Amino acid sequence: MNRIEKELAESLPQPKGPFTDAEALELLMAYRKDPSNVPCPLCGPDTVEVLAFIEPEIDPNGFASVTNPEGEYAAALYCHQCFRAVGILAGTGKEA
């Protein structure tokens, strides 16, 4: 492992496991209610960050394109306290 790869691996926390289905649903409902205030079901408020907005469809290689939070999209959420991440289908696809 080269020096830069080693430093990045040490500085970027990696997810410690998935959110349960119930927790993911709780995150989705909180996001749809107020995207700026999504508490972690385990850790509470002020720990979850939206890392990216991505296309809801993943390509055959397992990658998704970054997009804007309009129409149909997914949001990649990450909790900085329990180090868990999840992608939720955040956009409804309905224009208001």
Label the pairing between strands 74-79 and 85-89. Answer: antiparallel
Report how far residue 80's alpha carbon sits from residue 38's, in angstroms, rounded to the nearest whole number: 12
What's the pLDDT score for residue 81?
93
What's the pLDDT score for residue 94?
53
What's the pLDDT score for residue 64?
82
Mean pLDDT by 10 residues, the chain (96 residues): 57 73 95 94 94 87 87 92 90 57
What's the pLDDT score for residue 63?
83
Kindly give, in sequence order, each residue whose CB lies less than 8 Å from that of residue 70, ignoring residues fewer than 6 positions away. 91
What's the pLDDT score for residue 95?
47
What's the pLDDT score for residue 91?
77
